[in-house]
Structure 1
Amino acid sequence: MDMDGDWSLPRPNTLFKVNSRPAGTSLSKKSSIATTFSSLATPVVAEAVQRAKELSTKTDVEGFHQLRVAFRKLRALYWAYSPYLGEEATAQATEELKRLAAVAGGTRDWDIARDLLDTAQKSGASIEPLVAAAREKRAQAVVHSQTMIRSDEVEAFLNDALLRAQTTLQSRCNDLPIRAFAEKRVRLAQRTLQKRSRYAARSETTHEEDLHDVRKAGKKLRYLLEFFQPVIKGGHGRTIKELTSVQNKLGQFNDIAASETLIRSASFDEVPPEVVQASLQWLETQKCRRMRAASRRVRAISGGDGRASARG
């Protein structure tokens, strides 16, 4: 569920308790749907709040990346529980989580673009002015992220959203066991991945948007398997490992495509147009190579049996 927009950040009267215990430690096959949501969401919220606090003073690459990942994991969790949370509540929460992830991702995107431009320069491309400009863009993105992601507001939003979700689930499915529900949601995520993989692989010419759709579907499935692994049938460690491998290949392509879009849309007043063009030509060449590699992996996972498709 991908939506844009803002959700107001009210401060709840009662805070949703967070702690740092690992996800899944209190999960069992006899747990209820309502209690597992709390168990799974709590450590992710704790990490997101901690990351947001750290980024008020730190600007490390990994910090912004992990904050964005935490927001994405929470979106996947809201999707999983949406049949009981309801469409409106799910939409409101995922809308704001997507916005926060995008703000955190602004710095990360310039980190990736800057690293790619460094590689281009080392390979012989004469783009030093653009490399320097990308460093400045990254610095500006840090300021924007720190301004827009205030840890106290993030904590208030997450506490309020999760308290509402927990209250809703306790009233609707407090006594319903988790196992069948979790397996059903995982199967739906698997079918979505299989459908998108086959769609992307059916043509000789793979489109960027199709690969992006496969990447998002695979990411959602991996997060759900990581969340629900303690309560669903069968061992899924290998599946998660293979999903991660495919995601890495798709991620390498996405980094190139996103950086190309970022540079095309940015304004570089102090950089000669021919320098920008040289960087775009290098990125285009690299994008084609990585797109072919990503397409091969997608075709491989789209043509096998049900388990192969699930692994992709």
Structure 2
Amino acid sequence: MDMDGDWPLPRPRTPFRIDRRRSAAALARKTSIASTFSSLAMPVVIEVVQRTKALATEVDPEAFHQLRVAFRKLRALYWAYSPWLGEEATAQASDEFKRLAAVAGGTRDWDIAGDLLRTAQKSDASIELLVSAAREKRAQAVAHSQALINSDTVEAFLNDAVLRAQTTLQSCCNDLPISTFAKKRVRMAQRTLRKRSRRAVRSEAGHEDNLHDVRKAGKKLRYLLEFFQPVIKGDHERTLKELTSVQKMLGEFNDIAASETLIRNTTFDAVPADVVEKSLQWLERKKCQRIEVASQRVKAISG
């Protein structure tokens, strides 16, 4: 969706006040649904703004990765509050978060592909040609991200989006406590993860897509637990550790699968077709190895 066409992004006339000392840890179980939204959203917004400002000169792959993660966290938070924010407002904000994450992620994708190709090069020196080409594609992705992610525009959009959400929530649930609501949304995210895990275990055709769906559902649950842990009962450290472990294995598989798709869909004018094919065959072998490990971990959490 083109958010510039559907949702203008002016700076809010009333500046959103940010209390930098307030964090999720300060949440109380009797705090209202409305007030918790800003206290959870604004630290992430501040991080995004700081990282987008640094993009003008930043080429560190981790910086691009963390920016993409921050946008994903905002998508998860908007999903959590969507029953009160409304479907249209949630979709508008989430689509823009997704677009910005994809722009930031282009550099990270080429970093991952480059690392994998350097490993493949150890077994076939000719792949060095593709490693060099991937390095050039990475530089192009950096320039693309820097051109499309304007810090002033992003800051204006985020302030406006949070202000709109806060206004909506204050008008409909300013006196409703967060604890019951948070537990309900976390349970829903847990059910989604379990459902997708079971589907992945049962499936054969489209297994890669199903594993990717499990990975996305796991991320959402992890982010919600991190957001709402102060206001929901129980010790969720074990769940978070398990999710982190599963996500690591699914991430390793996804890195290979995504790199294979990236290389297959990219034109390399200066690289012979047989060199590209060798790299794809290497990635396919690694993917087959990883899919078994990832599938076993998913099976373990599907129950």
Give the 3-state SS of the residue equivalent to 2:13 in structure 1.
coil
Alignment partners' CA distance in 1, 2:39 and 2:183? 17
| CA spacing shift, 1:239–1:261, aligned 2, 3 Å | same
User: Which residue does 1:220 correspond to in 2?
Assistant: 220
Alignment partners' CA distance in 2, 1:276 and 1:5? 34
For 2:170, the aligned partner's letter is Q
User: Which residue does 2:80 correspond to in 1?
Assistant: 80
Alignment partners' CA distance in 2, 1:198 and 1:223? 21
1:22 CA drift (Å): 6.5
Q: Would you say 1:135 and 2:161 are equivalent positions?
A: no
Gaps of 5+ in 2: none
TM-score, L = length of structure 2: 0.96
Alignment partners' CA distance in 1, 2:79 and 2:125? 44
Q: Would you say 1:65 and 2:62 are equivalent positions?
A: no
User: Which residue does 1:264 correspond to in 2?
Assistant: 264
User: Which residue does 1:109 correspond to in 2?
Assistant: 109
1:211 CA drift (Å): 0.2
Tell whether the 8 Å contact from 1:17 to 1:42 is kept in structure 2 after alignment: no
| CA spacing shift, 1:278–1:103, aligned 2, 3 Å | same
1:19 CA drift (Å): 5.0
User: Which residue does 2:11 correspond to in 1?
Assistant: 11
Give the 3-state SS of the residue equivalent to 1:25 in structure 2.
helix
Give the 3-state SS of the residue equivalent to 1:229 in structure 2.
helix
Q: What percent identity do the matched residue pairs reach?
A: 74
For 1:283, the aligned partner's letter is L
User: Which residue does 1:47 correspond to in 2?
Assistant: 47
| CA spacing shift, 1:159–1:268, aligned 2, 3 Å | same
Alignment partners' CA distance in 2, 1:9 and 1:258? 32
- Deviation by residue 1:4-37 (Cα, 9 ceiling, x = unmatched): 4434322211222335447413201110000110
Give the 3-state SS of the residue equivalent to 2:230 in structure 1.
coil
For 2:226, the aligned partner's letter is E
- Deviation by residue 1:76-110 (Cα, 9 ceiling, x = unmatched): 00000000000111011001000000000000100
Give the 3-state SS of the residue equivalent to 2:129 in structure 1.
helix
Alignment partners' CA distance in 2, 1:175 and 1:114? 52
Give the 3-state SS of the residue equivalent to 2:155 in structure 1.
helix
1:124 CA drift (Å): 3.3
| Larger displacement relative to structure 2 (95-104 or 117-126) | 117-126
Alignment partners' CA distance in 2, 1:133 and 1:14? 48
- Deviation by residue 1:169-215 (Cα, 9 ceiling, x = unmatched): 00010000000000000000000000000011024667100000000
User: Which residue does 1:166 correspond to in 2?
Assistant: 166
How many residues end up aligned between the 2 structures?
300
Q: Would you say 1:144 and 2:116 are equivalent positions?
A: no
| CA spacing shift, 1:20–1:263, aligned 2, 3 Å | farther
1:300 CA drift (Å): 1.0
Alignment partners' CA distance in 2, 1:121 and 1:271? 14
Alignment partners' CA distance in 1, 2:67 and 2:21? 17
- Deviation by residue 1:242-262 (Cα, 9 ceiling, x = unmatched): 101100100000000100000
